[in-house]
Amino acid sequence: MKFKVVLASSSPRRRDLLAQFNIPFEIIKPEFDEIREKSETPLAYARRNAKQKGEWVHQYLEYQPQHKSVSETTLIISADTIVVLGDLVLEKPKDVSEARSMLQLISGRDHQVFTGVHLIFQHKTIGHKAVTFHTVTDVTIKKLGDFEIERYIATGEPFDKAGGYAAQGQGSYFIKEIRGSYANVVGLPICELTEILEEHFQISLWDLI
């Protein structure tokens, strides 16, 4: 069975996580505003964003005739990662001030990283199936001094990262402990993804290569 794999994300981290398995895939960036509803829990927010990203890309492909003949089987992978401190959701900082505030908040404290993932499996004869799941990882950050925070911000690394840091980048030096999936902190929980593929779609990760 030939698969067309689509990553519904422009995240370089998710791209790199998939690419390390030599999986051929296409990237399509969803276009919609991610706004948390007032009564929405952080986990529900991450799951909803992941689902909406996948559905947006699925609808986009449905209206692109050139895509329909590429493969009779399409797997769309979408995800949304947020950093959570109590009930506070820390997404990507918009500027230096916001990055500084986020790093001061997580300094010397535990926080959680939530990733919602939505998978859409479309087959010409089998039909359509979708599953949403999530993974939670606990992270402990060492106490950061003002000088450290300013130097880290100066690297430019915080600005496209949830919570204002990159576990796979220079931000790794202030992570004291990770309890749970490291890949989840990076942006895509690969282990859990493979388990869901096998359980719900009877697909191995190696089937996608």
Q: Which residues are catalytic?
A: 80
Classified as helix, coil or strand, 39 is coil
Whether the CB-CB separation of 100 and 92 falls below 8 Å is answered with no
CB-neighbour burial class of residue 15 (10 A; exposed 0-12, middle 13-18, buried 19+): middle
The amino acid occupying position 32 is F
Longest alpha-carbon distance in the chain: 59
Between CA 34 and CA 79 the distance in angstroms is: 12
Closest by CA position to 54, among listed 13, 115, 10, 8: 8
Closest by CA position to 183, among listed 113, 119, 102: 113
